[in-house]
Amino acid sequence: MKEKIKAYALSLGADDAGIANVADYQSPRTPDIQSVFPGAQSMVVMALREMSHVESENPRIAMNGRLDVMEHARAMNYKMARFLENECGARAVSVPLSYPLDMNTKTMGVIADVSLRHAAVAAGLGVFGRHNLVIHPKLGSRVLFAAVLSDLDLSSDPPVTEDLCIDCGICVDECPAQALEAEGFTDCGKCLKVSQPYGLGKIIGFWNRFISADPDAQRKLLMTDDFWGMYQAQFIGFQYHCFKCYASCPLDSRS
């Protein structure tokens, strides 16, 4: 059954795939899996390689590449869930690749319902590096993950036991937000200010300025780069402008 499922994942365009039993999924901040999908026993995790868009200094080109990966992953997730239900007799649900997520003042919009990084580690697809991304044995750091939960009772694939990170420190030095200073911790507040310059913080600040401004100043604010950038971000979604942690890591599929 497991090999059949993983072979199907590869046929969908995944670069690698693994299986994790939910008992082996250890994520300290996300909700209990049973609260997400009662009866879930395993997850299929699929790895997708990030392309060279992460190297582009043009934020639109870089973000477009990420959107391509996300669109591909969403289609894979739906097809995998259908496969598990139609061909394996399971109940299955897909996990968001990035959003929607729980946006509230408690989570601050940085805690997913299922951590795909921890799911990937549980499925034997890699280990955490100094940048707190998952390093895949062949794909390196330039990899995203997609996952589908099901009620199939499947065992986890063997974990990666090798420490793949070479501790070069390049990711720490190259992070423009200084968000990786503390080992094992990403300062999301610092990261988001750089990686999502038109995110919630920018929106709150802009509208606070707008409300307190006189009509003349309000008209000028509507013609600023901030407002126009926010406008585009509203229909794109979480609009990333920084991929340095991916691009700076020397561990990728070409190394």
Give domain limits for the chain: 2-165, 197-236
95 pairs with which residues across the strands?
147
pLDDT at 4 over 70: yes
Q: Which residues of 75-98 are buried (b: 16+ CB within 10 A; e: fewer)?
A: ebbebbbebbeeeeebbbbbbbbb
pLDDT reading at 8 higher than 90: yes
Tokens standing for residue 162: 């090798």
pLDDT in tens, 221-244: 999 999 999 999 988 887 899 999
Strands 134-135 and 143-150 turn out to be unpaired
Mean pLDDT score of the chain: 95
- Nearest-angstrom CA–CA distance, 108 and 156: 31
C-alpha closest to that of 63 among 228, 235, 216 = 235
Amino acid letter for position 3:
E
| C-alpha dist (Å) from residue 224 to 97, 197, 214, 220, 242 | 32, 14, 16, 7, 22
pLDDT digits (tens, 9 = 90+) for 179-232: 999 999 999 999 999 999 999 999 999 999 999 999 999 999 999 999 999 999
- Long-range interactions of 176-179: CB distance < 8 A, separation 24+: 176/242, 176/244, 177/242
Of the candidates 66, 40, 6, the residue with the CA atom closest to the CA atom of residue 152: 40
Confidence band of 254 (pLDDT split at 50, 70, 90): low
Burial tier of 209 (Cβ tally within 10 Å: 0-12, 13-18, 19+) = middle
DSSP-based three-state secondary structure for 155: coil
Looking at residue 15, its amino acid is D
pLDDT at 236: 85
Torsion angle of C-alpha atoms 159, 79, 246, 18, degrees rounded to 10:
10
Q: What is the mean pLDDT of residues 67-96?
A: 97
Pair 192, 201: CB distance under 8 Å? yes
Residue 254 tokens, joined: 């070409």
Q: Is 254 exposed, middle or buried (0-12, 13-18, 19+ CB in 10 A)?
A: exposed
